[in-house]
Structure 1
């Protein structure tokens, strides 16, 4: 997993599509959903760490 698109595809695979019109809110909701998938053990620790890293980089305005 390397891009925001990859994170979105991961969420989509579990039936979650997030679009509120507010990019910052979208990132926050995606992180909450990723956390919940990890808590329920649907995704691996590696997937969780990669997804959270990508989302936090986007939230802070960094590329990738």
Structure 2
């Protein structure tokens, strides 16, 4: 799991499709859905941590692009 696309594909395996129209919002909702899957013990800790790191990196990148430091 290295990219946002990889995280999207993981979520799709569980029937979770995220598209809110703004990439930053999509990333935030994916993080919430990922938290829910982990709390319900649907995904393991290794996948959870890797996905959260990818989402954090992408979120930081989007904030820099938007000028929202």
TM-score range, shorter chain: over 0.9
Structure 1 or 2: larger helix share? 2
**Partners of 1:54 and 1:28 in 2: CA distance:** 12
Higher alpha-carbon Rg: 2
Q: Which runs of 5+ in 2 are unaligned?
A: 63-69
Aligned length in residues: 62
User: Under a length normalisation based on structure 2, what TM-score does the superposition of the two structures give?
Assistant: 0.87
User: Under a length normalisation based on structure 1, what TM-score does the superposition of the two structures give?
Assistant: 0.93
Which 4+ runs in 1 deviate beyond 2 A? Answer: none
